[in-house]
Structure 1
């Protein structure tokens, strides 16, 4: 997507309203490492996260998309790809695909916990894939691009500071590299996560919030499910985002994003 979607008859709510009040809207077109498209009134921000590589405006071919998504069913009428009606559970060896565009976020895998107050995340621990990483906040650059952790910091995750803090109502957004020029990075094994696994986040107030994975999907960057990922929720939620799919050596770009959906299921205070 290379244009900014605008719906002037609507008004932003929640964290999107805070974002719109803090930074100017981005220009259409190429945005460097990460583009941001604001959709007023839907409380959705399309953060097309290309972690550590340069974003290109050229869409991947249908064959590249099919290969990266692992689509094994034949195209429908007029070459239209067929996608599942819901986000899948993920898991090692699972074929990750995108759900249909209007599918909701996956249902909670565990009993949702009550929300907690605002406190910035400081550490991310995912036992199932051996992630133990510091978290720093990332925002929007002077060029109106979403910041990402530096490539020199392979074991670092970035919390998008205009999203809710983990544990507040709404989708907290954390991004990370899948790899760098020197090797694997913090989210290199993110695709192995499956429904029911735990994600723990230490917060600045000393509390630890635990999220349970609800589902995992891999989507083409050209069809990022903004409402499903960034839309308002009635309970504390978490979205982990990194790159996926096919790496194009000519464009230095991955074709897809990998997205993990999770819901808050417990809180431990110190």
Structure 2
């Protein structure tokens, strides 16, 4: 009689075991199905969104970031111009650099020729404005370029800088097609000492005037370089200025001959 009660308990547990197994199996199946449904269902949008207008679908629109390249691009019609990273160096020379040539204090550039874009224009010396910025050629002479006379003469070691307008109220100016230049194109500069120096384009960039790459343009070089600078981007009618600069980087690749 003493073991009848435990035996009865064991019999009841044995009878309940199949039911427990069935319930456990169903719970596992339901858990799996719930997991599958969670996996397949679309993600919920965050509540922290801002509507862009009365017809907004309240989705967060990613901000469009300007393209910034790790180095100055090659330029050309199939390579949209973009700024290089702020600390990027000038582009690598497209050809072997020619040894810089000697000049005197009186030597200056007199004419620049760029066959690719049909430029053949006189060059005048430019200094600084009262603001400390480089002076520019007068708008009354849209086909005149300006050489920064406080920097190197084209052909000397270092970066020589020549500026020109893209257009005026009367129409296209000397550097209206500057953005068409690309790596490998030739630029020739005639000098007052009778020498003609040829430069080969290394790269071109378009960059905001507010982020002008001073070190990349004016920084020291081991060879004779050339920088062409003009305007580009969006024209602001209120201020009368463009938003960007087009900058061409080139390295001297030939020297000699006689200017006409």
Q: 1: distance between equivalents of 2:78 and 2:169?
A: 25
> Who is 1:30 aligned against?
none
Structure 1 counterpart of 2:114, from 102, 126, 130: 126
Structure 1 counterpart of 2:222, from 234, 238, 244: 234
Q: What's the offset of the Cα at 1:80?
A: 5.9
Structure 2 counterpart of 1:100, from 61, 85, 92: 85
Conservation of the 8 A alpha-carbon contact between 1:108 and 1:262:
yes
The answer as to 2:139 corresponding to 1:154 is no
Structure 1 counterpart of 2:161, from 150, 169, 173: 173
Change over 3 Å in CA distance of 1:141–1:102 after alignment to 2:
closer
- Structure with more helix by fraction: 2
Structure 1 counterpart of 2:185, from 197, 202, 218: 197
Root-mean-square deviation (Å): 1.5
> Who is 1:182 aligned against?
170
Change over 3 Å in CA distance of 1:143–1:251 after alignment to 2:
closer
Q: What's the offset of the Cα at 1:144?
A: 4.5
Q: 1: distance between equivalents of 2:81 and 2:131?
A: 33
Structure 1 counterpart of 2:70, from 77, 85, 88: 85
> Who is 2:42 aligned against?
none
Q: 2: distance between equivalents of 1:225 and 1:145?
A: 14
Q: What's the offset of the Cα at 1:223?
A: 0.8
SS of equivalent to 2:200 = strand
Conservation of the 8 A alpha-carbon contact between 1:93 and 1:192:
no
The answer as to 2:128 corresponding to 1:140 is yes
- Provide Cα deviations, 1:48-104, integer angstroms capped at 9, x if missing partner: xxxxxxxxxxxxxxxxxxxxxxxxxx75xxx76451111100013531000111111
> Who is 1:115 aligned against?
100
Conservation of the 8 A alpha-carbon contact between 2:82 and 2:207:
yes
Structure 2 counterpart of 1:258, from 234, 246, 249: 246
Change over 3 Å in CA distance of 1:94–1:142 after alignment to 2:
same
The normalised TM-score by structure 1 is: 0.69
Q: 1: distance between equivalents of 2:70 and 2:252?
A: 24
Please list every run of 5 or more consecutive structure 2 residues that lacks an aligned counterpart in the other structure: 1-61
Q: What's the offset of the Cα at 1:128?
A: 0.4
Q: Which has the higher contact order (CA 8 A, sep 6+)?
A: 1
> Who is 1:66 aligned against?
none
4+ residue runs of structure 1 moved beyond 6 angstroms? none
